[in-house]
A and B are shown apart, each in its own frame.
Chain A
Amino acid sequence: MRALTVPTIWSDLIGYRQLLLSLTWRDIRVRYKQSMLGIAWAVVLPLSMMLVFTFVFTRAIDTSSVLKIQMPYALYAYTGLVPWVFFSTSLAGCVNSLVANRNLVTKVYFPREVFPLSSVASSFVDFCIAAVVLIALMFYFDLAGEWAFAAHATLLFLPAVVLVQVALTVGLGMFLAMGNLFYRDVRQIFSVAVQLLMFVSAVVIPVPQDGSILARLISLNPLVPLIGAYRDCVIHGRLPDTGGFAYATTFAVAALIGGWICFRRASYKFAECI
């Protein structure tokens, strides 16, 4: 049992980076084995979700008067869905990461953090691929004349936004992974919660801002400023709202540290409780 200090965590991670890479690579490889589209699914999934929501919110129900967005709806949905799919598939991977690797948890020793980390890392690869398609989509709407393409200087702020999201995802992922190891209910609760969370995170519809109790509750969700920050940097060409982004950053760092400490503390029990 190693102590939880930054140097030991760092040296563990360096020592096991090979394993982290291998497990990440395995996750990606296995996900797209025996599938015809293969890695193209990384693009097809958010793209098809975008089409579904575009159909629902612009054709099935006309919400153009309610949704106050200054861009084509499809673009709004896609910029929300790319980080959202990264967030939700990462956590879905984390929830199962320890239980699905029961054999490794009970038969081989290495830092258990590797499991949730590799889940997040393999989803990150999909995220990068899906993000490239966003550029194509922006060109499309530019050509269609619905929107003016521009490469804003604020894109330089994008890595910081991604970093905050990764910290948040890893932190929550560690809680979920060990939670599900001890209590399998976590997986079920997660699958319902993630559905709800999508509609209160400004992914496909803006969150209410009318000062009601519901609106105030939703404003506690760190994903709202986070996903907003993606749109600010990429589409609007402005820096994200300082207060909201600072809140999301604080939340993410707290989740990361808290999750990692709890995970470390509990990890010696994993092999016997799984």
Chain B
Amino acid sequence: MSNSLVRFSHVSKRFRLGETHDSLRDLFSYGLNRLVGRHNGCARASTFWAVDDVDFEVTGDKPLGIIGPNGAGKSTVLKLLAGILRADKGSVEVRGRLAALIEIGAGFHGDLTGRENIFLNGAILGMSRAEIRSKLDAIVAFAGLERFLDMPVKRYSSGMYARLGFSIAAHVDPDILLVDEVLSVGDAVFRLRCAQRMRELVEGGTTLIFVTHNLDQMQSICPRAIVLSEGRCVFDGTSREAVGHYFSAMSRAYVSRPGDVQAGDVGENDAVELLGLRILNEAGEEVVWARAVEPLRAESRFRLHRPIERLVVELNMRSSSSENLLSVNSGRDGVTLNGTIGEHTVTLAMDDIPVCSGQYFWNVRIWDADRGTAELDTPFRFPLVIDDEGRATGIFCVDHEWSFGVSEAASPSYATSSKVLSCADLPSR
């Protein structure tokens, strides 16, 4: 067992919000203003705490996962550990040879060949020439780039680039390895090999600190995880429990109160005013996080200021990359509401939302079917985090099962068929 150690004691790191002086002119005008006692905005650029009193310790062969929404401070923690940034408060103690994989191929130079870049990047990650030479074949084989070794990396595909980058870092054999969200690159086979390699390193005694959004991979490698949210550590414990905290932190990061009325919730000619859109679970509780398989209801409440005889409600859902995934329209289903002046509630019941884990956004449109006008069209600002419990990746998630059989030499018939995995069978988390 290695005796490497990472101790992160009550560390805080502050960043400036505004731009600092980027040109000398700014500096001179700042100095001048200081002299005559005037302060401008540039001088008093406000700051925020990217990492706020985070405290953890990792020893030996127990890998740690760090998860959290974007902007929670995960990468800053790694940069503080790597010595790239210096903490404003607290102390960072690192014992052992540390390699940080914060960005794949950070030191690559496009004009150099793959082979040359292996030597360069290896040196950047702290390997000696002799060490790199002895590992060259392994690195190249792992990346699967034997044929392209003497090609400048600027002609590599992004997948080849990433494979080479990870492969070099995976062969550094550090005491402590920091990995930041790099395994989302490459194809599925390569991702599996990366995860396998990380497990091997952990078994070999490397202290792994792993930042990721891939919760399944994180759980399969790290028994322990911390959840960061807005720079603070909101959970430290088993990675299984951490996932739940991750989703609630994620909901908090995007919305404070989803039901709040905002600009855009009032229709253009003031006919309709949205009072709220709530997603409810079976128990009738408002949720911002749901499992893909559970029944949900979307309840929109609005107030009409003029009667709309044939009112149609439309609900749309988009992925976080703004793809339109779902549009349901009561008019299409032959349902219209006789809208009188006053408050109304329209509820849409859904058996499930069979999409893969991620953050989704809803909007509401209210149509006057007679005029054919959209009286209300909100932005896609109502978030819903869906957890598919690791069954699939991609866009949507279907019930599925696998069959496994041994084929006879001549006949390709399948002997047995057993239900291995089915959505409905999964225990709830």
Could you list which residues of chain A lie within 8 angstroms of chain B, going by C-beta atoms?
Answer: 1, 18-19, 21-23, 25-26, 29-30, 33-34, 103-110, 182-186, 268, 271-273
Contact = CB atoms under 8 A, between A and B. Distances in A.
Given A18-B128, A109-B100, A183 B24 contact: yes
Contacts of A103: 103, 106-107
B391 to A, nearest CB: 34
Interface size class of B (residues with CB under 8 A): 20 to 34
Contact of A268 (B23, B86, B129, B152): B86
Contacts of A26: 109, 112, 116, 120
A271 B86 CA distance: 9
B16 to A, nearest CB: 8
B362 interface: no
Interface in B112-130: 112, 116, 119-120, 123-129
Contact of A108 (B102, B112, B119): B102
Given A33-B111, A103-B106, A107-B106, A183 B84 contact: no
Contacts of B120: 22-23, 25-26
B22 A184 contact: yes
**Which one of B111, B124, B127 has the highest number of Cβ atoms from chain A below 10 Å of its Cβ?**
B124
14 contacts: A1-B83, A1-B86, A18-B123, A18-B127, A18-B129, A30-B112, A33-B112, A108-B82, A108-B107, A182-B21, A183-B24, A183-B27, A184-B22, A273-B20
- The 4 residue pairs across chains A and B that have the minimum distance between CB atoms: A22-B123, A107-B106, A268-B86, A109-B83
B111 A108 contact: no
Contacts of A23: 120, 123
B396 interface: no
Nearest to B79: A271
B100 A29 contact: no
Contacts of B116: 26, 29
Interface string B122-147: 01111111000000000000000000
Contacts of A183: 21-24, 27
A24 B100 CA distance: 22
B85 interface: yes
Interface in B85-112: 85-86, 100, 102-103, 106-107, 109, 111-112
Given A26-B109, A103-B103, A271-B79, A108 B125 contact: yes
Contact of A184 (B20, B23, B79, B126): B23
A29 B106 contact: no
A21 to B, nearest CB: 8
A184 B102 CA distance: 26
Contacts of A109: 82-84, 100
Contacts of B22: 183-184
Contacts of A108: 82, 84, 100, 102, 106-107, 124-125
Interface string B8-43: 000000010000111111010000000000000000
B124 A22 contact: yes
Contacts of B85: 268, 271-272
Contact of A110 (B24, B86, B124): B124
Contacts of B83: 1, 109
A28 B10 CA distance: 44
A22 B119 contact: yes
B168 to A, nearest CB: 12
B30 to A, nearest CB: 12
A21 B127 CA distance: 12
B399 to A, nearest CB: 42
Contacts of A104: 106-107, 124
A19 B23 contact: no
A107 B106 CA distance: 7
Contacts of A105: 84
Contacts of A106: 79, 84
